[in-house]
Amino acid sequence: MREIVFDTETTGLDFADDRIIEIGGIELWNHIPTGREYHCFIRPEGRKVDPSAFDIHGISDEFLRDKPVFGEIVEDFAAFFDGARLIAHNAAFDVRFLNAELGRLGRPAIEPGLVIDTLPMARRKFPMAPATLDALCSRFSIDTTKRDKHGALVDSELLAQVYIELIGGRQSALRLVTDADGLDERGVALAAIRIPPRPVPLAPRLTAAEREAHAGFVATLGPDSLWSKLLTPPPVEAAR
């Protein structure tokens, strides 16, 4: 199952008038990061960055001056995001902005059924506790030292770790993956940790009476029954 954990940064809070200025996405395959990512800055046509938004993400109008507009990156965006389940924190905010940008180009909106919002997931799992991305990173001991301001790609990387913890951690797929595991062409781990056999088998838990009762039952099934064949030891070849 392919998933994209993503985030956006915008010029402000009004999706009808404000514009997306940054998109970041991290690809997961069966809840495991593949190493593939998407990231771009976007020049907001006819819109300036609101000072309150700049205080959050630090992206200035001057920095965005030579960046492509949304229509110039939409094909690359679609190629990376299409066909995946989309994961975001407070997803309604990001999806409204993306749908507004797509609508301006006459492209179809993102299907609601493809979107998973980690904010209500966190609130259900930890009722009455703070559910911001920072609070969840702190709860799960996720390192945030490289994040001094909000950024779409770094927030996607952090959210991917939070999302995996919210659904049960790295063992949710009954796998234990290490950095030393081999990777296929998508960067997905090929092997789980292999547990060696016990050096000494565990002692049998059946009593002698239980084994005798079972043997008596199998005898009633006849010599051609599967149980009779399994319990009959193979013939010993004569020494040559």
Q: How many residues appear in the chain?
A: 240
**Spatial distance between the Cα atoms of 21 and 144, rounded to a whole number of angstroms:** 22
| Residue-wise DSSP of the chain | -EEEEEEEEESSS-TTT--EEEEEEEEEETTEEEEEEEEEE---TT-PPPHHHHHHH---HHHHTTSPPHHHHHHHHHHHHTTSEEEETTHHHHHHHHHHHHHHTTPPPPPGGGEEEHHHHHHHHSTTS--SHHHHHHHTT---TT-SS--HHHHHHHHHHHHHHHTT-GGGGS----TTS-B-TTS-B--PPPPPPPSSPPPP-S-HHHHHHHHHHHHTT-TTSHHHHHHSPPPPPPP-
Catalytic center residues: 150
